Amino acid sequence: MFTLPEQVKIVEVGPRDGFQNIKQYIATETKLSIIETMVAAGVTSMEVTSFVHPKAIPQMADAAQVAETVASKYQNTAFKPIALVPNLTGGKKAYSTGIREVSYVISASEKHNLENINRTHIQSLEDLSNIVKELPDLKVRLDVATSFGCPFLGRVDDGLVTNLIQEAVKLGIKTVVLCDTIGVADPLLVYNLASKVKTTFSNVEVGLHLHDTRGMALANTLAGLEAGITIFEASVGGLGGCPFAPGAAGNAATEDLINMFHAMGIKTDIDLSKYIEATRIVREKVQDVLTSRMAYACSYKHI
Amino acid sequence: MFTLPEQVKIVEVGPRDGFQNIKQYIATETKLSIIETMVAAGVTSMEVTSFVHPKAIPQMADAAQVAETVASKYQNTAFKPIALVPNLTGGKKAYSTGIREVSYVISASEKHNLENINRTHIQSLEDLSNIVKELPDLKVRLDVATSFGCPFLGRVDDGLVTNLIQEAVKLGIKTVVLCDTIGVADPLLVYNLASKVKTTFSNVEVGLHLHDTRGMALANTLAGLEAGITIFEASVGGLGGCPFAPGAAGNAATEDLINMFHAMGIKTDIDLSKYIEATRIVREKVQDVLTSRMAYACSYKHI
């Protein structure tokens, strides 16, 4: 018999991880309307934007406007917006808009970290340390990229992941997210790594960020549930997650996760039919062909 | 820790369940070349065609030619072709081509059985009884359609499935396949029903036929593995499985299953890269957009 939790927490990452892959500029009001529809459906945690340099990702040029609008609108509500920040400068900008939770990314594979953000592990950890010290009111989540596999290393050793988390914990980090950056995790790998990280760091919140590149997003989610994980990042419509090829899937689709959780009697506090409204806006205004399964399954009558 | 088997058996259903949904006629030589490519990759069990009336499914008008060619070519090899037969007449036709294993479908939901093939359970079981008695050399698999959900009943009660299997077992059936005909199974449902059927009928081989309609094909496969199932039906490219809407997924894709099994160290005796050749032929000659994830993931370098 499965051991399943009663409740899970979904962290929506579509407006950050999804939108940043879209070349065509999405109007700020469209971004806000998608965010608001998801919040109305019950999403309480969401990466709403990214404070990267607009030259690197022009889609995020309106980061301050999006963050400020959202932080102000939902102040003193259950909804907590998150922004991705690449460094202390980004952290300060996010803080000034009213954001109080940020994601910071380091790859378990140092080679990937160097290729991706041109920093060694030591440089990335120094940067993280500066953010934590200079912005003590900011909650910082550590996204451990390439936790399961890396385009340079292949399989990533458990030890690389736990060593990096160990260093982050020393700096005061209390939430880490194991990210399947290139979509090569399998259920056994997820179960084993998630169990190890949870056991090793019993005071740390551990989340999973899974991709559907090889169709295993929900199988890996199930393995995560069985390992005791209750925090799952996912993206509306399955947007983002760096798909390399046309037709390829990237991020796990939020609506697919919600549907599976509800089917098994696991609460998310999100209303799926209301959430699907956000998927419809995304199809209409952002990208007409989505990799989410529920985006299509919902277009005929559900039993 | 997961309990996973060392080895599973994949039953390819693309040339039957996949092709029967394709409106454009597929040349017999194309069908044969896809079948041969999959056998060369290591597939040992496959539904190669269906002996339904060509007026009902024109795509299967060459059933006798396909069956005869395949049965003759692979006589005395490890590869065992299967044909779907809707009645005794179809069974006799299949037998005359050299086929020695057939699939016969009854829905657990009698209402679905009536709508689908215009027969009551008693009529379907009589027909099955005639096939078993008149063709004693034929191995007959029972596909239990709507095992998990039905468009008329919604959730299907376990008892409907076990009662039907009980009747089939009395007729001598030794292999049953629990089919998620409309793609509404979830991992908990699969685990519970598969465990119950395996426990209740310990001398019966139990397989699963899963759909990816809501993205749960591989999660449900994992749940099946944990329940001790080692026989999985799947379709090349994810073809077939009656998708209702454009863009919707149907059958579990064979290449997605093989990839997950291999990633977890479970043997299938199928060479994935050789199998993907069959997927390429399907994309080129049958249907250019596939719902399989591996059909696209494989188009960039695998780590």
> Complex ipTM, two decimals?
0.96
β-pairing, A154-155 vs A149-150, is: antiparallel
Using CA atoms, how far apart are residues B292 and B14, in angstroms rounded to an integer?
A: 12
Q: Residue A149 is encoded by which pair of tokens?
A: 């596999």
Q: Is the pLDDT of residue A30 over 50?
A: yes
Q: What pLDDT, on a 0 to 100 scale, did the predictor assign at position A3?
A: 85
DSSP A6: S
Q: What pLDDT, on a 0 to 100 scale, did the predictor assign at position B300?
A: 45
Q: How confident is the model at residue A300 (pLDDT cuts 50, 70, 90)?
A: very low
Q: Which of B264, B265, B294 sits opposite A214 (nearest CB)?
A: B294
Q: What pLDDT, on a 0 to 100 scale, did the predictor assign at position B257?
A: 98
Using CA atoms, how far apart are residues A104 and A91, in angstroms rounded to an integer?
A: 9
Q: Residue B7 is encoded by which pair of tokens?
A: 């080895």
Using CA atoms, how far apart are residues A281 and A33, in angstroms rounded to an integer?
A: 8
Using CA atoms, how far apart are residues A276 and A254, in angstroms rounded to an integer?
A: 10
- Tell me the chain B residues in contact with residue A215 when contact means C-beta distances shorter than 8 Å: 212, 217-218, 253, 256, 259-260, 292-294
- Within 8 A by CB and 6+ apart from B42, the residues are B268, B269, B270, B271, B274, B275
Q: Length of chain A in residues, anyone?
A: 303
Sketch out chain A's domains with CATH numbers.
9-297 (3.20.20.70)
- Give the gap in angstroms from C-alpha A225 to the nearest C-alpha of chain B: 12
Q: State the distance between the two ends of chain A, measured CA to CA, in whole angstroms.
A: 26
Q: What pLDDT, on a 0 to 100 scale, did the predictor assign at position B298?
A: 66
- Tell me the chain B residues in contact with residue A155 when contact means C-beta distances shorter than 8 Å: 303
pLDDT digits (tens, 9 = 90+) for A167-215: 999 999 999 999 999 999 999 999 999 999 999 999 999 999 999 999 9
pLDDT digits (tens, 9 = 90+) for B173-229: 999 999 999 999 999 999 999 999 999 999 999 999 999 999 999 999 999 999 999
- Within 8 A by CB and 6+ apart from A122, the residues are none
Is B179 annotated as catalytic? no
Distances in Å between the Cα of B162 and the Cα atoms of A101, B120, B159 are: 52, 17, 5
Verify whether the Cβ–Cβ distance B149 to A222 is below 8 Å: no
Distances in Å between the Cα of B3 and the Cα atoms of B93, B130, B266 are: 42, 40, 11
Q: Is the pLDDT of residue B244 over 80?
A: no
Contact predicate B186/A294, CB 8 Å: no
β-pairing, B231-234 vs B205-209, is: parallel
- Give the gap in angstroms from C-alpha B77 to the nearest C-alpha of chain A: 32
Contact predicate A58/A50, CB 8 Å: no
